[in-house]
Amino acid sequence: MSGNADTRTDGRWEAAADGRFAEVACDESGSDGENLVGGNTAVFAHASVALPVDVAAECVAEIRRRIRSPAQEYKATHLLREKHRAVLEWLLAEGGPIHGRAHVHLTEKAFFVVDRVVGLLLEDAAQSRTLYRQGPRTFGAAEWQEFLQAANRLLRVRPDGDPAAAGAPFFRAVDALGRAYPDTEAAGVLRRLAAGRSRADAYRARVQRTPPLFPVLNPLFPAIRLTAAHWSAGGRTVTLVHDQQNALTPGRIARIVQSARRDGIGLGGLRLVDSRDDARVQIADFLAGIARKIASDALGGSGDPVLTALLRPYIGAESVWGDTANWASIGPPPENPGRAAEINSAV
């Protein structure tokens, strides 16, 4: 994009964003299913926007006008190109088209694995952060990665190889690390995990006997519940309009809606659409991809301070993030961590 691109904020966007909307459009970026370790991305992002259809369509048209790419379908990658930096900043800026009308739930995938395996074996959330904080610096990058992969395999509904033996590599890794680093805080957590072998065996038996409707390692399902909780706060009822996603089967959608209502979340319904047919979902798709990239860069130590600051107002405090050292620059402090943990673990 040329250097003289018009990137000023425009009052018409602020006016259009006023009011409450019964429908909220959603999309995700960084989905690798249950393969959270060693996959394509380190972060999962679920974005949602509350805009009228005509305003969203005008926003997409404005992005096209500013970028001027011949592509039939625009994606976040168009906005993330350095030559279109001005357009990206315009989209996220205060007074821009989505400011105050969008939300992003982030999941740091490696921490999600640690949190889930500790939750299964110990039911002690505090130990998740202790292990995640101390593990890499105690064991080293390579051994820590092997531990994460073994934990991922233990929890997957359909692990590679014999499902009944999925726990063996995990407990071998736990034992080896505990013996190699016996007098460390991280090894103390591992010893407690080793004592939970019967819980792991019971979990694998349940999974083999009756595969769960919601795999414990897929971050999409809790993200949807937390998105609904965010937009329905204050007694509102919302319908989520989500981009087509194979994981969102009719049975899962029905259960998500039922369980959300049971738990006091004002989720009126969840329906799937083709993003190409709904400009609101296209905006959510842009935001999800943008947020994943900005957050991933920050997590990896190469964050852009300007973009991170622009993204921060959109990030939900209930996001699942283990690296507290860089979270302060990415998102806000949790307002009600107990409630967020309850919603996050419900599916």
Phi, psi of 47 (to 5 degrees): -110, 150
| Number of residues in the chain | 347
Low-confidence ranges of the chain (pLDDT < 70): 1-21, 334-347
Could you give the CA distance from residue 170 to residue 223 in angstroms, rounded to a whole number? 27
Chain segment 174-208, per-residue pLDDT in tens = 999 999 999 999 999 999 999 999 999 999 999 99
Provide the token pair at 57.
């369509």
Tell the CATH topology of 11-108+215-344: Nucleotidyltransferase; domain 5 (3.30.420)
DSSP label at residue 44: E
Q: Which of 170, 65, 178 is nearest to 113 (CA)?
A: 170
Q: Which of 6, 27, 18, 14 is nearest to 289 (CA)?
A: 27
Could you give the CA distance from residue 83 to residue 87 in angstroms, rounded to a whole number? 9
Spatial strand order of the sheet with 43-49 comes to 102-108, 43-49, 23-29, 238-243, 267-273
Domain locations in the chain?
11-108+215-344, 110-209
How much is the pLDDT for 341? Answer: 53
Beta carbons of 222 and 343 less than 8 angstroms apart? yes
Radius of gyration of the chain (CA): 21
Phi, psi of 269 (to 5 degrees): 175, 170
Q: Packing angle between helix 85-92 and helix 279-299, nearest 10 degrees?
A: 110
CA distances from 224 to 191, 220, 299, 339 (A): 34, 6, 23, 15
Could you give the CA distance from residue 241 to residue 300 in angstroms, rounded to a whole number? 32
Beta carbons of 148 and 110 less than 8 angstroms apart? yes
Provide the token pair at 132.
């995640």
How much is the pLDDT for 320? Answer: 95
Could you give the CA distance from residue 14 to residue 279 in angstroms, rounded to a whole number? 18
Please report the sign of the dihedral spanned by the C-alpha atoms of residue 69, residue 72, residue 74, residue 78: negative
Beta carbons of 246 and 217 less than 8 angstroms apart? no
Beta carbons of 248 and 270 less than 8 angstroms apart? yes
How much is the pLDDT for 124? Answer: 87
Q: Which residue has the tokens 């999409």?
A: 220
SS3 of 238, please? strand
DSSP label at residue 305: H
